[in-house]
Amino acid sequence: MVEVHLEPNLPVPLLALFAICTTLVVAIHLIALFISTCILPHIEAVAGDKIDPDTKPSAAALRFSPHVRLRWYIELAWVLSTGVGILLFLAQMSVLTWVRFRGISVVASIVAVAVIIPAIVVFVVFAVQFYRQLIAHKYERVTSDINELENAVLELQLANRRSSDMV
């Protein structure tokens, strides 16, 4: 928790904003930690399974692996902790400068916010670009898999026609 000595004459909306940001930062990170802590034993259970190093894991084993089934929760924990958590932390730092420096120096608060805003912009731009690249890669992979399946279906149909022509 942020330890700060508050002035008695701070505006209530500023105090409320500070309380909301602080509470959300802690809550978001605790939720992400909880999700990660709940999922980790499931992944370790699969990782600890005895697998013959000469054989590849079966498709069914990979499909039912916890990291695949719990992917939504893993991504949620990642988004909450990194994306939302960092944005809330930066917002909290901006509000904290207004709470702490309000009676001392308005210029210090303005400068702090002026520094934090470009950091937020850089973070958001990076996050959007990173996410777009992930989605593009996933799209290409799925498209490739679909093309492979279509080719396999065509080959099976041709083989089936050939075998029926021979009979």
Number of domains observed in the structure of the chain: 1
- Number of neighbouring beta carbons within 10 Å of residue 84: 16
Tell me: pLDDT of 91 over 80: yes
Give residue 162's pLDDT.
Answer: 80
CATH number of the domain that 75 lies in? 1.20.140.140
Question: What CA dihedral angle connects 119, 123, 126 and 129, to 10 degrees?
Answer: -130
Q: What is the pLDDT of residues 55-74, one digit of tens each?
A: 555 555 556 666 666 777 77
Evaluate whether residue 133 is within a structural domain: no
**Percent of the chain scoring above 90 in pLDDT:** 18
Evaluate whether residue 63 is within a structural domain: yes
Q: Domain range for residue 87?
A: 12-120
Is the Cβ–Cβ distance between 47 and 65 less than 8 Å? no
Q: State if pTM tops 0.95.
A: no
Evaluate whether residue 93 is within a structural domain: yes
Evaluate whether residue 85 is within a structural domain: yes
Who has greater pLDDT, 53 or 66? 66
- Give me 44's structure tokens: 């370790």
Of the pLDDT bands very low, low, confident and very high (cuts 50, 70, 90), residue 167 is low
Is the Cβ–Cβ distance between 80 and 32 less than 8 Å? yes
3-class DSSP string for 17-45: HHHHHHHHHHHHHHHHHHHHHHHHHHHHH
